[in-house]
Amino acid sequence: MKPTDWNTRAQQRTARLARAAQALGPQLRGKVVAADAVTTLLQAVLEPGDRVCLEGNNQKQADFLAKALVQVDPAQVHGLHMVQSVLALPEHLDLFENGIASRLDFSFSGPQGARLARLASGGRIAIGAIHTYLELFARYFVDLTPQVALVAAHAADAQGNLYTGPNTEDTPAIVEATAFSGGIVVAQVNELVDGATTTLPRIDIPADWVGFVVQAPTPNFIEPLFTRDPAQISEIQVLMAMMAIKGIYAEYGVQRLNHGIGFDTAAIELLLPTYGEQLGLKGKICQHWALNPHPALIPAIEAGWVQSVHSFGSELGMEDYIRARSDVFFTGPDGSLRSNRAFCQAAGHYACDLFIGSTLQMDLEGNSSTATLGRIAGFGGAPNMGADARGRRHASPAWLKAGAQARTGQRGAAGTPRGQKLVVQMVETFREHMQPAFVDRLDAWTLQEQAGMALPPIMVYGEDVTHVLTEEGIANLLLCRSDEEREQAIRGVAGYTPVGLGRDKRMVENLRDRKIVQRPQDLGLDPREATRKLLAARSMRDLVRASGGLYQPPKRFRNW
Amino acid sequence: MKPTDWNTRAQQRTARLARAAQALGPQLRGKVVAADAVTTLLQAVLEPGDRVCLEGNNQKQADFLAKALVQVDPAQVHGLHMVQSVLALPEHLDLFENGIASRLDFSFSGPQGARLARLASGGRIAIGAIHTYLELFARYFVDLTPQVALVAAHAADAQGNLYTGPNTEDTPAIVEATAFSGGIVVAQVNELVDGATTTLPRIDIPADWVGFVVQAPTPNFIEPLFTRDPAQISEIQVLMAMMAIKGIYAEYGVQRLNHGIGFDTAAIELLLPTYGEQLGLKGKICQHWALNPHPALIPAIEAGWVQSVHSFGSELGMEDYIRARSDVFFTGPDGSLRSNRAFCQAAGHYACDLFIGSTLQMDLEGNSSTATLGRIAGFGGAPNMGADARGRRHASPAWLKAGAQARTGQRGAAGTPRGQKLVVQMVETFREHMQPAFVDRLDAWTLQEQAGMALPPIMVYGEDVTHVLTEEGIANLLLCRSDEEREQAIRGVAGYTPVGLGRDKRMVENLRDRKIVQRPQDLGLDPREATRKLLAARSMRDLVRASGGLYQPPKRFRNW
């Protein structure tokens, strides 16, 4: 065997770079590619069947490269295997419709979920699997290593060093896997600096790791995904947030946590400096966060509740506030945020005591899923953060108490003591259009049959859920001693949904005596107190004011 | 409240840098500190009570900085809270004996385990917790963020850019957490290049992230921890390796895996191209690895078994081999390995179907621990990789089969289907000095009492173990339907230990009929075939030969 046979990836890399140089000619200077030559570049470096990571994050999108990739000639470039976190842009699916890509491994599809389902059922996309983010990143280093990565950064210098800006997100994980496996990294940037008279605020990705840089004609798209207008928070959400704070956060002494996206958890954030303060909880709960820079957290930060926030990504408009609150956020010496989805997901998994999220459907075992008929929405970070971290070995009061309760319940006293993560599903019993959130059977089962999946697409397994919180009360699943008790505890907070109406009233009352089901009044809460007045900010304007004018919401949120 | 109150960390950073500049005077040029001024530097930048990460890896050690830190004046610098993966060097504990440090959060202590236990029981060290690596890294971003990190790299340039060399290990995680939270990073390097006439092979850590660089008088210490001389592999280990390959790897079709350290798993690696080849398994198992570059894997790589290896660290002597096999290993365009413990642990957790490790003690529930009386050895990566990754959502045949078996067993058919990771504990029934590996009660329980820990220091929980493999056979714990069956399955492979002798013979025979306990003959293995002749390399020299002379073992392994 010739020794060169062991270095085919490096040889391919050299060949691809040479093809690019030849195809681009004067449109390539050093590593910098002219914007109008990007499709030429992609056509030169890509080969049929390549695994390609087209950076799609929760927020930041390599949109210019996505548009360029859609333009390549399918006769030359086809059968691509796309491996990317998020399908956010129409182009992410156009690739499959026009025959350039055929296979997909991903995490979250959000707005493209319905179209994805159509393409998959029509046989245009072979879906490998839906992952949680950290799982997909892990596979980049094992069996889904990209040959080519198309990423987005804020700026580059002439050498190819990248400044990702506050929305670092997935970029470091993608680039490391690609650059160190003979792959090629192409970065679109908003700005090019010469590196001499103008320099990058800091270097996030060294030039060695980057093959090509192109300045996009327009800045990359960023979605302000985590901004929730307090004006839209309902009094039911206020009540639920009060229950969360008093019935769970205070009860377990939760100091390190992650909040999912949405108005339910925004309400919790906005009640900390008011209701939380009344309960004397400052310093006793919620000091450390794995969280994007939620605007709704501003009042709690200003009131001195928060010691640290490490972020998956950033949030538009929060730049100046973050810079001015560098004790709280992870920022560089230049003052801008350093986010990192891989590390923040690790933090959410291993260093947080509580994950609180929401779902579209929950069944009688507590399994929940956002996959509903006709939509393949994906999972995002929920499976990773909403799972008991069984490798965790450090103790905290919250984790130990949850673990002790689990031994009182189904795991049984015989089980070897270990702690457990608090995983809370917070849902109103009915969602939009009066669809019940509690169901006998998840749509996920039908989706599994339709799409020929190995398992139903369950986001968080009931085995891992510790509490279900609705406007009717809190069900503590840890304390349940049997599957039947568990089912009745869930029915016991499922309100007027068919699942809730199907409860065994006597058994639910028994569970209430044992504090497995708790109503607002059992927690000493008067639902009449749950008014919007309790919110530390009741509008976007209040948030801006609370930030001392540092928070600058995107235009669409400026309604005053 | 003054706005400046929100930027105390940044202000502290500035103040520390100014103190260093003043204390060092001409001994500081740019970021480069004179070697004999390092203790002065540390005394200037450190403050009492600081959280400090003194980089201690599995292999690479910031040994020069460790020696310098021991020299600071305890009157000035004391009460440090050390947060570091590995306690490998005597200096790591000297810090506590001489009053510089008082608190410790760590992962693994290996050779320092006995001394650590003495210091802890004498009240000289307050141990926060023993973590698995990724858990500790996660806390660096939440509640154990270092104020100062003392790291080791291979080389730096005058600007402070670092080339970590193949042993990247923990460095990126430590530096990112420190540099982006107002902390200060000090790097010891083996070489300084001027950046103009001589340049770094590549940049692993950008200069922006680094505060100070010092060239150590001697290269940093690296332990060849993963080198196992095939000459020391016994025929019992060959037999156990045959059982692992035929009874587990082939049975489940394991393609992606991690091997722990030791002769047991080295034997498996060395049997792939011989025994595995005979069974026709090439291409059907073991193509993707999360593994350091084990020399014992060379014959399997050469025989074309291995598609990829992503590594936590590197291994001394493997540099040229890795460079010449870049299709298999993750290397930079410069040809040297890029390891990364954080990503490789994520890969081990989320992208591997099997973890196989060893232990010192296992109890009747299958709990195992390397913590024995008088030693606090720590856990390393085992809890993370030896736990079911409950956040995982992508399927593979091995994972689905294990999950299906779990529903046949204790989890029960009612449980919602999900996959499960294969976690194999591979132990001889007696370890050194005829100590039984199977015990009624783990020493961990006594250690818990002695050290006042919240939980016993269990490395891998029985709930997460799927198979126990000894020279007597394989116990499949997934298929057990009750705690009693589980106990008898373990007793059934525990040989002549008291635990093994205490078996219910009839029940064990019943388990054997159900293939829950399998003897070598049940697998069609004749123990007489288990000879050292089956090993693809029987000596270090054979490994060198198999590598075509590319592998250059450290001197102590050169016994020919």
pLDDT for the residue numbered A197: 87
Q: Which helix (H) or strand (E) holds B236?
A: helix B235-243
Which pLDDT band, with edges at 50, 70 and 90, does A1 fall under? Answer: very low
Contact B224, B218 (CB under 8 A): no
Average pLDDT over residues A173-187: 98
Contact B79, B48 (CB under 8 A): yes
Q: Smallest Cα–Cα separation from A360: which of A453, A457, A451, A270?
A: A457
- When the pLDDT of each residue in chain B is averaged and rounded to a whole number, the result is 95
Structural domain contains residue A540: no
User: Are residue B298 and residue B355 in the same domain, yes or no?
Assistant: yes
Domain end among B170, B185, B215: B215
pLDDT for the residue numbered B435: 92
Minimum mean pLDDT among A421-435, B440-454, B505-519: which range?
A: B440-454
- Structural domain harbouring B134: 31-215
Average pLDDT over residues B452-457: 90
Whether the pLDDT of residue B3 is over 70: the answer is no
Average pLDDT over residues B529-535: 97
Structural domain contains residue A539: no
Who among B209, B393, B464 is closest to A132 (CB)? B393
User: Are residue A144 and residue A277 in the same domain, yes or no?
Assistant: no
When scoring A85, A141, A203 by the number of chain B Cβ atoms within 10 A, the one with the most, hence best to mutate, is: A141
Structural domain contains residue B241: yes
User: Are residue B279 and residue B139 in the same domain, yes or no?
Assistant: no
Structural domain contains residue A556: no
Structural domain contains residue A554: no
User: Are residue B267 and residue B180 in the same domain, yes or no?
Assistant: no
* φ, ψ dihedrals at A90, nearest 5°: -55, -35
Q: Which amino acid is at A148?
A: V
Whether the pLDDT of residue B101 is over 80: the answer is yes
Q: Are strands A473-476 and A517-518 parallel, antiparallel or unpaired?
A: antiparallel
Average pLDDT over residues A368-387: 90
Is A28 exposed, middle or buried, given 0-12, 13-18 or 19+ CB atoms closer than 10 A?
buried
Structural domain contains residue A541: no
Q: Smallest Cα–Cα separation from A317: which of A88, A165, A544?
A: A544
Whether the pLDDT of residue A4 is over 60: the answer is no
Structural domain contains residue A283: yes
Structural domain contains residue A558: no
Who among A8, A208, A387 is closest to B390 (CB)? A387
Query: In whole angstroms, what is the distance from residue B505 CA to residue B512 CA?
Result: 10
Average pLDDT over residues B240-251: 98
Model pLDDT for residues A194-215, shown as the tens digit of each residue? 878 899 999 999 999 999 999 9
> Nearest residue of B to residue A184 by CA position?
B333
Domain end among B215, B250, B270: B215
pLDDT for the residue numbered B376: 86
Domain end among B188, B215, B242: B215
When scoring B136, B306, B343 by the number of chain A Cβ atoms within 10 A, the one with the most, hence best to mutate, is: B343
pLDDT for the residue numbered A272: 98
Contact A436, A419 (CB under 8 A): no
User: Are residue B179 and residue B261 in the same domain, yes or no?
Assistant: no
Query: In whole angstroms, what is the distance from residue A242 CA to residue A209 CA?
Result: 48
Whether the pLDDT of residue A458 is over 60: the answer is yes
User: Are residue A439 and residue A520 in the same domain, yes or no?
Assistant: yes
Provide the shortest C-alpha distance from residue A215 to chain B (in Å).
22
Query: In whole angstroms, what is the distance from residue B66 CA to residue A163 CA?
Result: 33
User: Are residue B38 and residue B122 in the same domain, yes or no?
Assistant: yes
* φ, ψ dihedrals at A151, nearest 5°: -120, 170
Contact B133, B26 (CB under 8 A): no
User: Are residue A177 and residue A236 in the same domain, yes or no?
Assistant: no
- When the pLDDT of each residue in chain A is averaged and rounded to a whole number, the result is 95
CB contact under 8 A, B176 and A343: yes
User: Are residue A178 and residue A253 in the same domain, yes or no?
Assistant: no
Average pLDDT over residues B405-412: 86
The helix/strand/coil state of A553 is: coil
Q: Give the number of domains in chain B.
A: 2
A 287-326 residues with CB below 8 A of B?
287-288, 290, 307-308, 310, 324-326
Q: Taking each helix axis from N to C terminus, what angle separates B8-24 and B38-45, rounded to the nearest 10 degrees?
A: 150
Whether the pLDDT of residue B241 is over 90: the answer is yes
Average pLDDT over residues A513-537: 97
Whether the pLDDT of residue B1 is over 50: the answer is no
Q: CATH number for the domain including A482? A: 3.40.1080.10
User: Are residue B364 and residue B505 in the same domain, yes or no?
Assistant: yes
User: Are residue A173 and residue A266 in the same domain, yes or no?
Assistant: no
Average pLDDT over residues A227-232: 97
User: Are residue B92 and residue B238 in the same domain, yes or no?
Assistant: no
Which pLDDT band, with edges at 50, 70 and 90, does B4 fall under? Answer: low
Task: Please give the radius of gyration of chain B, using alpha carbons only, rounded to the nearest integer.
Answer: 25
Model pLDDT for residues B194-221, shown as the tens digit of each residue? 878 899 999 999 999 999 999 999 999 9
CB contact under 8 A, B206 and A203: yes
Chain A hits for B461, CB-CB cut-off 8 Å, are: 390, 416, 418
